Chain A
Amino acid sequence: MELLVYLLLSGLTTGSLYALIALGIVVVNKATAVINFAHGELFMFSGFVAWMLHVQMGVPYLPSLLAAVAFGFLLGAATDLIAFRPLKNANIISLVLATIGIAFMLRGTARVIWGGKGDYLPFPPITSPEPIMIGGIMVIPQQLAVLAGSIVIMVAFAAFFRLTRAGKMMQATADNAKAATLAGIRIDRIYMLSFGTGAAIAGAAAALMAPLTLLYPDMGFSFFIKGFAAAVLGGLTSLPGAVLGGISIGIIESLAGGYLHSSFIEVSAFIVIMFVLVVRPTGLLGSTRFRRV
């Protein structure tokens, strides 16, 4: 019983990070109907920026996190400029491969700057590293901090989307791009804003996660594919769906690791993805929508 609660809690924590990555993927997909395959690398790169500021240059944690968010936004907007805007009318294969090209440029750059394969950079925890016991259950305070941070980011994002002018324009464009254009919304800016916002959320997730685990240049893709899977699980265009999808994948991984074998953590997500796509290609909450394919 205690093991179950512990596993659920740690699954929830990782899952909330996947949820943040999935949110970024969904924001881009809602606006543009494409997937940014460099999303995981934007996440990784922003995490390294936070690490550089916080660990190497001694900047306090919170400003480092905000810098990672800002840096993520810039990288996302750059991805739009390089790989999406010129290729808007090209086929999906060119578009996806262009974002993969960007992913590998970022990954290689991170490897050159921050170390070769196998170098893992630790990030000092922001809370006490000692586990504490709450009602007989072992809890690592850092997990609670990540969970709370994720919730704050999700709420902030929801507020941005619902309340700000930029957020409302993004929503309007996602609902009906043609009508939005007629209403005078400059759609290219919305695309850029969506790429930027998606990557900014990833930047926040990276800075949040860094104290919990280690940073390495290859980490981006694994997070991307799980975030992508979470987004698909939630129907690819649903923001609440992305959150639920992320948490589901986190919990499945955690349970597989706890009850089967630790090596199953990584692979359980892939098995779930393949299974879900074969059985229910539009995701668990997904509605059938005309896709640009």
Chain B
Amino acid sequence: MALFGRRNVLVAMLLFAAVAPTFLNAYYLFVANTILIYVLLAIGLNILVGYAGQLAFANAAMFGIGAYGTGLLQVHFGWPFWLAFPLGALIATMVGLAISLPALRLSGLYLALSTLAFAQFTQWVFLNWEPVTFGAGGFKTPPISFAPLPISKTLGLYYLSLILVMVLFALAQNLVRSRIGRAFVAVRDGEIAAESLGVDLLRYKALAFGISGFYAGIAGGLYSAMLNFVSPEGFDLFQMVIHKAMIIVGGLGSIVGSVLGAGTLVFVLEALRKVKGVQEIAFGAILVGFILFMPGGIIGYLKEKVRGWEEPLHRARASRRPPVAATSESSEVRP
């Protein structure tokens, strides 16, 4: 394994994340937690856009649905966070599945329009269904408790986020290397050919929408708990652009790329947090700049320049072959 290959770098990042709370101050811990939440968003969106090739714009809305779902179930029904959180994610998943229904008939620009309309509709519901959503002002969520664990809310939420990122990263990584990941890419690269090989378009489009809804829903629940506050403003079009920029910067069609893109852009977002206009200009420019000059994103650069970052869509056979043969490219021997 290459020293700076994917596995080693990821392990180093994970170790850093695990010990980070011992030396980070409250603000940087908040930033770190935000990164973890955006990693989930980026992975889910990358499966939908980068792997399955669906040009959808509803991710910020599903993030919002997860946050509102988790928050409102606590506020209106007095449910504990531990019940409201998974249910909020489930609601976002269901919504994701529901908006995939038109996706079979719509492709490209039409899908973009219908999901944009859906995102605007969701925003409208957050703003106008005041008896339930408390309107433009938003609402406070009850503080969550990690009792009986002897751990503060901030620290507990950070580790909860970290564990969820680890688990959901691993699940996504396994998934894209399986027949399901290949079916997603087949749908993206050629719907007709995919169908002729027995790939059911509706099933896999729905699955991709459902997965991205689930990841966004989990992220939304964590977000509401982290801020103790939910308002429509957090889930607007700018949020949508942040998510899109993350997967472009990290690299479309890459789970690790999603992690790198989310990490990088949360720092940019925080550095520019004072002026919204400047944030918008920066994210717009990042989007255009990467698409024009680095279309493969950070991961594309790493795959090209550094050994050990390849991301095959199948499991490497390293276990059954001597390692030398598995890594050498040119000496592929015909069996």
Contacts and interface: CB of A to CB of B under 8 A. Distances in A.
Tell whether any CB of A sits under 8 Å from a CB of B in the complex: yes
Interface of A: 34-35, 82-83, 86-87, 90-94, 96-98, 100-112, 116-117, 217, 221-222, 225, 228-229, 232, 236, 263, 266-267, 269-271, 273-274, 277-278, 281, 291-293
B159 interface: no
Nearest to B102: A278
Interface string B273-309: 0011111111111111101100100000000000000
B284 A103 contact: yes
A82 B295 CA distance: 14
A266 B124 contact: yes
Nearest to B125: A267
Contacts of B238: 104
B287 A112 contact: no
A273 B113 CA distance: 8
B121 interface: yes
Interface string B238-281: 10010011001000100000000000000000000001111111
A293 B281 CA distance: 28
Give the size range of B's interface with the partner.
35 or more
Contact of B118 (A93, A94, A98, A270): A270
B276 A105 contact: no
A112 B292 contact: no
A270 B121 contact: yes
B55 interface: yes
B284 A104 contact: yes
A97 B102 CA distance: 21
Majority-rule SS of A interface residues: helix
Given A229-B117, A278-B105, A98 B110 contact: no
23 contacts: A82-B288, A82-B292, A90-B295, A93-B49, A96-B55, A96-B112, A98-B288, A98-B292, A101-B288, A106-B284, A107-B277, A108-B280, A112-B278, A116-B276, A232-B110, A232-B113, A267-B128, A270-B117, A270-B120, A274-B114, A277-B113, A281-B105, A291-B107
A274 B118 contact: yes
A34 B49 CA distance: 18
B269 to A, nearest CB: 13
B151 interface: no
A90 B287 CA distance: 15
Nearest to A273: B117
Given A111-B277, A267-B121, A270-B118, A101 B106 contact: no
A117 B15 CA distance: 41
Given A93-B55, A97-B244, A105 B109 contact: no
A225 B116 contact: yes
A117 B238 CA distance: 13
Given A90-B295, A93-B49, A101 B285 contact: yes
A273 B102 CA distance: 12
A37 B113 CA distance: 10
Contacts of A98: 287-288, 291-292
B137 interface: no
A263 B291 CA distance: 38
B114 A278 contact: yes
Given A90-B295, A104-B283, A112-B281, A274 B109 contact: no
A107 B238 CA distance: 10
A104 B277 contact: no
Contacts of A273: 113-114, 117
A91 B188 CA distance: 11
B110 A274 contact: no
A108 B281 contact: yes
